[in-house]
Amino acid sequence: MGDGRVWLSESTWQQPLPVVSSSDRSALVTAIAARIDLGYPGRVLIAVDGRTAAGKTTFGHELARELADRGRTVLRASLDDFKQPWRDRHLYDRESGEGYYRNAFDYAGLARLLLQPFRAGAPGGVALCSIDPITQLDHSATRVPAPEGAVLVVDGVFALRPQIDAWWDVRIWLDVDPEGSVARGTERDAVRVGDDAASLHRDRYGVAEEVYLSEVHPIARADFVIDNRDFADPRLVRGPPTL
């Protein structure tokens, strides 16, 4: 079924694998991983969605680690690694809130490089990163294997958009309030962005997320909804009855 390994992308936009967290958080992640492992013995594609700084990457890492401990081969990817290259930003609006939502991501490239070959078990493997969002280096030729029984965990905003929603077997939404999203994101990005971090999260990402919520209603589409306001004590809001 797998080798219990977690494959990470080449991207420099990485957050470290989390240390062991609270017992409540570990129990929730373990329960969700068990449900997925039992319910999807073949290849399974999982989306972890939510507002910016909702904790998607951390949760994706935790889920991947738990599934790997169960013997599954797990591939980790982020939608941030499948954006349009910055060199082309003069061709479209990517800096307003609505422009970011409409134009920033390369969904066709995501499907071609990752989702479709993973689903098909392509012998050449899959690309976990297209364009590095920091260095702008092209990693699309770097491939990793996706054997039978592998799990693909992809985190990122707008993961349930119509362009890619049909690919997912499992949809997870991490719920935080808008103010918490802006505060977390500003704190996270202050070193990299500086004084513009708050306005970036409020006026670009926050606006983009409101467009997404009003058009797509992703929370209603999710299989699992988790209140992630308190990192140490996340709460399952919606999920299969066995949880």
> Mean pLDDT over all residues of the chain?
92
> Amino acid identity, residue 181?
S
> Amino acid identity, residue 193?
V
Residue 221 in any domain: the answer is: yes
Residue 242 in any domain: the answer is: no
Residue 158 Ramachandran class (φ > 0 left, ψ -120 to 50 alpha, else beta): left
Taken in order 127, 151, 11, 104, is the CA torsion positive or negative?
positive
Residue-wise pLDDT tens digits, 135-187: 999 999 999 999 999 999 999 999 999 999 999 999 999 999 988 777 777 77
Residue 212 in any domain: the answer is: yes
Residue 109 in any domain: the answer is: yes
SS3 174: strand
**Could you tell me the pTM of the whole model?**
0.93
- CB-CB contact of 97 with 86 (8 Å): no
Answer whether residue 47 shows pLDDT above 80: yes
Residue 105 in any domain: the answer is: yes
Residue 147 in any domain: the answer is: yes
Give how many domains the chain has, as a whole number.
1
Residue 72 in any domain: the answer is: yes
CATH code, domain with 208: 3.40.50.300
Residue 71 in any domain: the answer is: yes
Residue-wise pLDDT tens digits, 52-105: 999 999 999 999 999 999 999 999 999 999 999 999 988 888 889 999 999 999
Domain that holds residue 61: 6-235
Reported as type and span, the H/E element at residue 237 is strand 235-238
